[in-house]
Each structure stands twice: as structure tokens, then as C-alpha cells.
Structure 1
Amino acid sequence: MNAECGGYRVRRWLAGWQVLVMLLVTGVVGANSAGALDPVYPFADPLQTEPAVIATGVTLPGDGTPVPCPAQKDFSAPLALSEAVDLALCHNSQLKSSWANIKIQAGAVGEARAAYLPVLTGSLGRTNDQIRYSNSNFKPTSINQNTAQGTLIWRLLDFGGRAASHQAAENLLTAALASHNTTLQKTLAAVIQAYCDALTTRAAVKAKTESVEIAIRTLNSAKAREAKGTLAQTDTLQATTALAKTSLEKNRARGDYDKALSVLVYLLGVPGNTAITLPEDQEAKFEEDGGKALALWLEETEKNHPALVAARSQLEAAQQRVEATRSAGMPYLGLSANYYQNTRPGEAVTASNSTETTVGLTLTIPLFDGFSSTYKLQGAQAQVEQKEAVLADAERQIAMEVIKAHADATSALQNLGASATLLAAAHNALAVSQRKYTKGAADIVELLNTQAALADARHERIRCLAEWRSARLRLLASVGQLGRTAFRE
């Protein structure tokens, strides 16, 4: 009868724990945003440490919407610049790494916040304790007991160590976000530069192709005049030489174009055998970004450049680590509570049911650790000095890049008009020389010189356009304000 009653109590006790576990699991599944239960770490983000950008995605400066990922592209159609940027931002491995670093730092913030909460541990057991004696005068004993133990530890007061650690983690999370933005700016600059290089080299191929066509017409004209006896063979040979030289330049330009496309394919993160075509040239709109005062550019850089934001946050985190390290050597006050049922840790179970509860306050005073804290503090202070130097170097370097990019953009913008005038004049000069040569009023040398002048004018025009695109891009990237809307026009 007693055994049956004991078994019934055990089954009822186990059933109660099963109900409690089921209720806990149900609540956890409801709290888990992903809907998938991890039996060990069921809560997704209970302390709300992940920044909103994890859920919404990154919005670049000047843009209204986040970068759309995954990006899809039908490469049978020409590749627009906006499509190239979207593909690169979705496939870049460095961006994926910096994105993961944001999550790592968010986890570190969670660890710092968890230091303010109590730590609760518990254990359940079923123990069978049998004792047999070699002396037959003593009967063997057997005890079956359910055991339970629970411990609560809670640090109530310290000298600012937890607060400093938490603030340092928050600053490192800010630095991780800014570093991701810096990587975004570098990726944007690289892919747009590669796209513009492809456009430039394709324009060079087109210009060299037109030069070859002009050289062919010149050669045919020279052959026709030679056949009529109005021209010496030397003119035909000079025209043939000019055509061969122009053909070589066209082939080299084609090779440069193929290399530019291969670089672009690599930055897009698509298979290497992907065939890319670019849209036809359109009349560009040249916003006079370079005309803004240099002081304004530098002011915007000082405030908003993500690399400087990251460096400042890392410096603040290093300063907070000094406070956390200093606090580690100070006293702290903790609360502890324990519950024992039928046993204590490492002790035998009791023959009769018993419960024990303890509650206590503990003041821990570090006395001596072999000077470990002293050297940790010195190391933390040296980290602050290092981060200060890194910040100062970043400020000088970025300011220098902005100044150089501003000067290049201003110069390139001024050269655009001059190159357009030069190209128009070269076209007119060639047309006049061709008419004179056809009528016999000019020799082959004059015609070939005007052809070379036109080729040089085309090269200068292409160069000025490329310099403007590159300088404007570098200026926006140096300031850290490059977004997808900056190039949609």
C-alpha cells in the first residue's frame, strides 16, 4: 500500500513537471519570431539587441528604400548601372562578412545586458541509495528519493563595470554598422568605377572603329587617284601605313574593353562566363557637384563619413573598457538564493522528505591578484591611445582624399567644354581636308595629319568624360554620401 502511494506521488510529481515544461515550450514558440524552436536557446532576441537595420535592410545615403536583395538580371538585355550596383551589393563577400559582424556585435550587446539579470540554475533527480553491511547483524537499507536543487545568483551592485561594458558593446555595435556602411561605399565606388571604365573603353573601341573607317576611305581615295595617274605610289603606301596603325590601335582598344568587362563581371559576383552588354551611349547630364565649396564638402565628411563614425565609436568603446577594467578590481555586492529538496550537492539523500532554503548577501572584495588587474588596466589605456591615433590618421587621410577629389572634379568639369570644342573643330578640319584632297588641292600628309588630330580629339573627349565620371564618383565616395540615387540620372 505504501509503495503504491509512493509510486502515485512520483507519477503525479513527474506529470506536474511535464505540464510546466509544455507550458514553457508553448510560450517560447510564441516568443520566437522565426517560429522554429531551438531546445537549448529558444528565444530569438529576448533583450532586443539587434538593430532595426537587420530586419529592414540598409538604406544608402539619399535613397528612400533599402537595397533590394536578391537581385535578378536577364543578361540578354543591356546591363544598366543601377542593375550592376544591385547585383554587386547583393553578392559581395566583404559586405556579407561585415553584415555578419553586425550580428556578432549585437550578440555582444546582449551579453552585456544579460549581466544585469540574475542567473538561475536548477536540477531534478531520482536517487536510489542502497547500503549493504558485511556484518549480518545489520540489515541492508534502500532509499528512493526525488531530489531537486535550485540556485539564484544576482549581482546587485558594482562600481560601474557592467555599465561600462554595456556602453562599450553599444559603441562597438555602432562601429560595426558604420564599418558596414564604409564597405558599402567602397563596393559602390568599385562597381561604378568598373562600369564607367567599361563604358570608356567601349567608347574608345567605337572611336578607333570610326578612325579605321576614315583610314579605309582615305586609302580607297588614294588608290583611285593613283589609278588615274594623278598621285604617286608613296601616297598610297602612307595611307596603307596609317590604316594598319589605326587597326592595331582598334585591336588594343578591344582588348582593353574585354578586360574592363571581366573586371565588372568579377565585381558583380556572377559566373565568369556571363556575357554582358552595355546600353548605348546617352547624353550625360553633368551636375556641377565639384562647384560646391570645399569647406562644405569637408564639413559633411567630418559629420557623416562612416569610416570616421566607426573610428570614433571604437575610441569610445576603448575608453569604456578602461572603466570596466578598473571596476573589475573593486568590491561588488551579490544576492544568492538556494533551494534543496532531500539533498545538497555532493551529499547523500535523506531518508525522509526535507526541504532547505538559503538566502544571502555577499560582499566580494578583491584583495590581491598578482598585479594582473594593474597590467590589464595599462593595456586598456594603451588601447585608447591606439584608437586615438587611428582616428587622427583616418581624419587626415579622408580629408586629403576629399581635397584631391574636389580638385580633380573641378578641373574635369572645366575640361568637358574644352574637349567638346576640340572635337568639333577636328571634325570640321577633317571634312575640309577630305574635300581638298579629293580635288587635288591638298596632299596625303595634310589629310593624314587631320585624321590623327581627329583621333587625338576623340581620345581627349573620352578621357575628359572618364575623368569627370571618376572624379565625381571619388568625391561622393570620399564624403561617404554615395547612394543609388546619385547615379540614376
Structure 2
Amino acid sequence: MTKKISIAVLLLLTTSFAWAQTELSLKDAVNYALEYKSEAVKSKLDIQNSSYLIDEARANALPQINANGGLTYNPILQQTALSMGGETMVIKMGRPWQSTAALQLNQQLFNMSVFQGLKAAKSTREFYQINAELTDEQIVEKVANSYYEVFKTRSQIKTIDQTIQNTTRVRDVIESLTKSGLAKKIDLDRINVSLNNLKSGRLQLQNAVKLQENSLKFLIGMDISTDINLSENDFNAPKMLYSKEDLTVNKRTEIKLLEKQGDLLRLNKKVTQARSYPTLSLSANYGYFGLGSNFPYFAGNDPNVYWSKFSSVGLNLSIPIFNGFSNRSKVQQAEIEIKKFEADLKDTKLALSLAIENAFTQINNAQIALDNQESNLSLAKQVLENIENNYKNGLASLTDLLDAETSYSDAQNNYTNAIMDYKLAEIQLIKARGELKSYYTTE
């Protein structure tokens, strides 16, 4: 219910985005993508289509009823000779007009390939359901990565804005000192050059964030012209400890999907084997047969048209005896596909185990780097404050001040990059835990 309300709010706000912005959280972006991105829509349609595949397979086990009719006109009737009492007579066979109208029923009583096909169709539905889950997880991963990428660039813009503000404040002081003859003009020129470079860098970051926002809107299936404002709370610096104890490849959707593929391959082998089994079916028909010199209408009492009923009921047994070993070759091919699947499953489990180890190592390294960059940022800020104070008192040069500002800006960007690395590592760890969708869609 919460998801539906959130999406409904997003849709309502989308219609008014031409004149207002709305805050878009990561969960809102993910939920929107899972509802409207083409890949998510198509995976849901595949699930819906699988119901029709089951109906199609079930139809082969249900009675098949057909209505047949035919009308034939014979301009020249075939003649035959009959000998009776020593005399030979030549007579015509049939009538110029003949027609049939009948109902025919066929019912499979025993057909192993049909029954196995129905099981395969039901497993196909389960396959599409798991595949939809995997598609959703892939969408969540892409959206989260793109969402954090926008935040990283926006954080860099904030850092450069703060640097521009500090540099402008220092420039104003130097400009005042220059007018008073207490500072050199070259110092003023140098800091103006630095300020212009910062403003140029800010324009480049603004262009980059615009491109990233457009990419994010494309990934979630939102109109590119829509204005969005991302939630600040989604790019904080959490400090969580993770354990490898609950990390297992069996929870991964990729493994569940492969295992279902294995079930389908085994069912395909059984379907192929079932073609060598006997089949038993029931057939029945009921109809009318008309002969006459005139056009045989169903209504009326034409003396030149003769109608008769016919009906039959039968059992049909078919026992395959020899088909040139064709079916045996198909069974062997199906067995080879199963062995190839088992090799793929083993390799995938190995690859996912490697991903788990890497994700755990990466998140811990990212946590260490984040702690270091946080300390470094605090230290760089203290250094900048001290040098600013020394410069005002004539105890530090402009070069020292600019270097301190650059170091502080670099420390801020490094801290932002450390948060970004942590977030990306967190995505991979949550993915390794098999909880990607639930983590980013539930409150």
C-alpha cells in the first residue's frame, strides 16, 4: 500500500513539475522505476503471458471438438458394370449432388508428452516470476548507482561553492589591502585567476550533474523534462558493521533462476522421452450425409434428395516401434544440455562466492577509507583556519593560503568520494546478500 501511495504522489507531482520541484528519495526513484521502466513492464507482461502458455498446454489435454461440412457436385458420374443372371448391366454410382455435415470429437486419454508439456508450462511461469525478480534487482542496482552518482557531483558543487565563497572573501580583503598599499597587485591577480578557475570548474560540474540527472530520469522511466530534487538524507555517511555469516549464494536470485532453468531442461528431456510412449485417444463423430439429383437443402421434402445419419465411436492406440533412432538422439541432446547447465550452475556459484568475498572486503576497506578521509577533512579545515589567521597577521604568504584552500577542497572531495565508494560497496554487499530489492523498496 505504501508503495502504491508513493507512486501515486509521484505521478501527481509529475504533472506539476513544469512549475515546481519535488524531493525524490532513493526509494521513491526505485519504486517509480519498478512500476514504469520498460524492462519491469515487460517482465510483468511475461508473467501474464505465461498464464496463456499454461492454458495453451492444458488445451491439448482437453476435448477437441470440430464441426465439418462439405458439398460436392459431380457433373459426370462414374459408371460400373454388374453381372446378374447372366446379364450385364451398366449403372451409375452415386448422385450428382452430395453433402456432409458432422461434429467430430477427439480426447487424449493417455499421452505422456502432453502431460509433461503441461508441467513444463507451469514451470515456465515460475521461471518468468523469478526472472522478473532478477530484472527488478538489476533495475534497482542501476538506479541506486546513478542516484549516488548525482549526489557525488552535487556534493562536489557544494564544495566548490564553499571554496569560491572563501576565496572571494579573501580576494576582497586583498583588494582592500592593495588599495591601501599594504598588499601587492600580483597577489590580487593571482587570487583572481584562482577564483576564475574555480568558477569555470563549477560550470563543468553543473553540466555534468545535469547529464547525470537526465540519465537517472531515463533509468527510472521518467519524462526527461521533469525537474527533480534529490533527498539529502540518502547520501549520509553511515557506519555499519557487516558479517559474512549470513552471506550465501543460495539466496541469490541468479541461482534460483538457474535452478528453475535446470528444472525446465529436465522436463524437456521427459517430454522428449514421452514421445516413445504409447498414446491412447478417444474419437467420436455424428453427422448427416445427403445424396440427390437436386441441390441438397437441409430443410424441405425433396423426393430427389436422400438423407442419412451416421455416427461412430472409437479408441485409437498408437505404439511407436522404430523411427530410425531419431527420438533417442533427441533425448541424448537433452541430456547434454542438462550437463552444460550443471557446469554453468557450478561456475555461477563460484563466481557469486567470489563476489561475496569481494563485496565484504570492499565494504570494510571503504569504511576504513571513510574514517580516514573524515579525520583528514577535519585536519585540513583546522590548517586552513590557522593559515587564514596567519595571513591576516602577515605571518603566512598568499601561496600558503591558496595551497591550504586547495588542500581543504581536495579533502572535501576525497571525503565525498569515500562516501560514494562506501555507498557503491554497500550496494554490492546488499546484492550479495540477496536483499537488493527489499532493502531499497521498503521503509
C-alpha contact (below 8 Å) 1:433/1:446 kept by paired residues: yes
Q: Residue in 2 aligned with 1:45?
A: none
Superposed displacement of residue 205, structure 1: 0.6
Is 1:110 aligned to residue 32 of structure 2? Answer: no
Is 1:302 aligned to residue 255 of structure 2? Answer: no
Q: Residue in 1 aligned with 2:365?
A: 411
Give the whole-Å Cα distance in 2 for the aligned partners of 1:439 and 1:487.
55
Q: Residue in 1 aligned with 2:115?
A: 163
Superposed displacement of residue 222, structure 1: 2.4
Superposed displacement of residue 325, structure 1: 0.6
Q: Residue in 1 aligned with 2:336?
A: 382
Could you list the per-position Cα deviations for residues 137-180 of structure 1 after superposition, in whole angstroms to 9, with x for gaps in the alignment?
x9xx999999541222222224x423332222222221111111
Q: Residue in 1 aligned with 2:194?
A: 242
Which residue of the other structure, out of 279, 283, 292, is the alignment partner of 1:336? 283
Superposed displacement of residue 442, structure 1: 1.6
Q: Residue in 2 aligned with 1:431?
A: 385
Give the whole-Å Cα distance in 2 for the aligned partners of 1:311 and 1:343.
60
Secondary structure at the aligned position of 2:281 is classed as strand
C-alpha contact (below 8 Å) 1:78/1:279 kept by paired residues: no
Give the whole-Å Cα distance in 1 for the aligned partners of 2:172 and 2:367.
40
C-alpha contact (below 8 Å) 2:29/2:143 kept by paired residues: yes
C-alpha contact (below 8 Å) 2:113/2:275 kept by paired residues: yes
Letter in 1 for 2:272: T
Give the whole-Å Cα distance in 2 for the aligned partners of 1:441 and 1:131.
124
Give the whole-Å Cα distance in 1 for the aligned partners of 2:286 and 2:6.
54
Give the whole-Å Cα distance in 1 for the aligned partners of 2:261 and 2:234.
45
Q: Residue in 1 aligned with 2:86?
A: none
Is 1:393 aligned to residue 343 of structure 2? Answer: no
Residues 354, 487 of structure 1: CA spacing in aligned structure 2 closer, same or farther, 3 A cutoff? closer
Q: Residue in 2 aligned with 1:317?
A: 264
RMSD (Å) for aligned C-alpha atoms: 3.5
Superposed displacement of residue 380, structure 1: 1.8
Secondary structure at the aligned position of 1:363 is classed as strand
Which residue of the other structure, out of 89, 93, 96, is the alignment partner of 2:41? 96
Report the TM-score when normalising by structure 1. Answer: 0.75
Residues 231, 70 of structure 1: CA spacing in aligned structure 2 closer, same or farther, 3 A cutoff? closer
Secondary structure at the aligned position of 1:297 is classed as coil
Letter in 1 for 2:354: M
Letter in 1 for 2:253: P
Could you list the per-position Cα deviations for residues 406-448 of structure 1 after superposition, in whole angstroms to 9, with x for gaps in the alignment?
2222222333333322222222221221111111122212212
Superposed displacement of residue 241, structure 1: 3.4
Percent identity at matched positions?
Answer: 21
Which residue of the other structure, out of 269, 273, 284, is the alignment partner of 1:326? 273
Q: Residue in 1 aligned with 2:85?
A: none
Q: Residue in 1 aligned with 2:215?
A: 263
Q: Residue in 2 aligned with 1:475?
A: 429
Superposed displacement of residue 361, structure 1: 1.7
Secondary structure at the aligned position of 2:66 is classed as strand
Q: Residue in 2 aligned with 1:80?
A: 24
Could you list the per-position Cα deviations for residues 42-66 of structure 1 after superposition, in whole angstroms to 9, with x for gaps in the alignment?
xxxxxxxxxxxxxxxxx9xxx9879
Give the whole-Å Cα distance in 2 for the aligned partners of 1:488 and 1:197.
22
Superposed displacement of residue 263, structure 1: 0.9
Give the whole-Å Cα distance in 1 for the aligned partners of 2:246 and 2:332.
40
Give the whole-Å Cα distance in 2 for the aligned partners of 1:333 and 1:487.
52
Superposed displacement of residue 255, structure 1: 2.4
Secondary structure at the aligned position of 1:229 is classed as coil
Letter in 1 for 2:109: L
Give the whole-Å Cα distance in 2 for the aligned partners of 1:70 and 1:440.
58
Give the whole-Å Cα distance in 1 for the aligned partners of 2:191 and 2:357.
47
Superposed displacement of residue 462, structure 1: 0.8
Letter in 1 for 2:289: N
Letter in 2 for 1:325: T
Which residue of the other structure, out of 209, 212, 218, is the alignment partner of 2:164? 212
Letter in 1 for 2:329: Y
Q: Residue in 2 aligned with 1:460?
A: 414
Is 1:192 aligned to residue 140 of structure 2? Answer: no
Give the whole-Å Cα distance in 2 for the aligned partners of 1:71 and 1:254.
25
- Any stretches of 5+ residues in structure 1 without a counterpart? 1-58
Give the whole-Å Cα distance in 1 for the aligned partners of 2:441 and 2:46.
29
Letter in 1 for 2:398: I
Residues 64, 231 of structure 1: CA spacing in aligned structure 2 closer, same or farther, 3 A cutoff? closer
C-alpha contact (below 8 Å) 1:185/1:480 kept by paired residues: no
Report the TM-score when normalising by structure 2. Answer: 0.82
Q: Residue in 2 aligned with 1:221?
A: 173
Is 1:120 aligned to residue 120 of structure 2? Answer: no
Residues 437, 71 of structure 1: CA spacing in aligned structure 2 closer, same or farther, 3 A cutoff? closer
Secondary structure at the aligned position of 1:354 is classed as strand
- Any stretches of 5+ residues in structure 2 without a counterpart? 78-90, 297-303
Is 1:183 aligned to residue 135 of structure 2? Answer: yes
Which shows bigger deviation, 321-330 or 221-230? 221-230
Which shows bigger deviation, 72-81 or 189-198? 72-81
C-alpha contact (below 8 Å) 1:178/1:310 kept by paired residues: yes
Residues 433, 184 of structure 1: CA spacing in aligned structure 2 closer, same or farther, 3 A cutoff? same
Give the whole-Å Cα distance in 2 for the aligned partners of 1:446 and 1:341.
109
C-alpha contact (below 8 Å) 2:214/2:224 kept by paired residues: yes
Give the whole-Å Cα distance in 2 for the aligned partners of 1:168 and 1:66.
37
Higher strand share: 2
